[in-house]
Amino acid sequence: MLGWALTFFVIAIIAAVFGFGGIATASAGIAKILFVIFLALFVIALIARAVRGQPPV
């Protein structure tokens, strides 16, 4: 998931350099959403691991 967020971020950067404002805005928005989802899943995984009694890596 983090890979997809980084991919859309790179697409947004390239589109911004070439002046495609709409594409850059859309790609940056998708990258932000995917990054937030990734962070939420990461935190949930850490909490689930701690509840099971396993130390964090």
| Residue 46 domain boundaries | 2-51
pLDDT in the model for residue 43: 92
Position 44 in a domain? yes
Per-residue pLDDT of the chain (57 residues; tens, 9 = 90+): 678 888 888 888 888 888 887 888 888 888 889 889 999 999 998 898 889 887 666
d(CA 55, CA 38): 21
> Does a structural domain hold residue 56?
no
With residue 19 as reference, give the H or E element that holds it. none
Task: Report H helices in 19-57.
Answer: 21-51
Whether 57 is covered by a domain: the verdict is no
- Which pLDDT score, from 0 to 100, does residue 57 have? 65
Does a structural domain hold residue 24?
yes
Domains of the chain: total: 1
In a domain, 41, yes or no: yes
> 3-state DSSP call for residue 20?
coil
11 lies in some domain: yes
